[in-house]
């Protein structure tokens, strides 16, 4: 998944995903091992916005 990421002032990041990126998982592929947590799948397609329960990263669905 190659999504644009917006860094906020905290450690939380904002991700924009499309339906082509489904299923959405956190942490993202390529995340550093030291900054990792158990993988969770987020149902962004149902709500349009999901937040990871571990790290707080937010995933927003962009309709194409």
Which pLDDT score is estimated for 9?
45
Q: Measured between alpha carbons, how far is 30 from 53 in angstroms, rounded to an integer?
A: 19
Cβ–Cβ < 8 Å for 35, 19? no
Whole-angstrom distance, CA of residue 8 vs CA of residue 45: 23
CA 32 to each of CA 14, 28, 40: distance values in angstroms, whole numbers, following the listed order: 17, 9, 16
For the stretch 6-29, pLDDT in tens is 544 456 799 999 999 999 999 988
pTM for the complete prediction?
0.75
């Amino acid at each position: 998944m190659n999504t644009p990421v917006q860094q906020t002032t905290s450690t939380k990041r904002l991700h924009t995903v499309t339906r082509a990126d489904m299923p959405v998982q956190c942490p993202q592929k390529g995340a550093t091992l030291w900054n990792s947590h158990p993988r969770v799948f987020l149902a962004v397609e149902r709500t349009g916005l999901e937040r990871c329960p571990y790290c707080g990263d937010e995933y927003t669905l962009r309709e194409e």
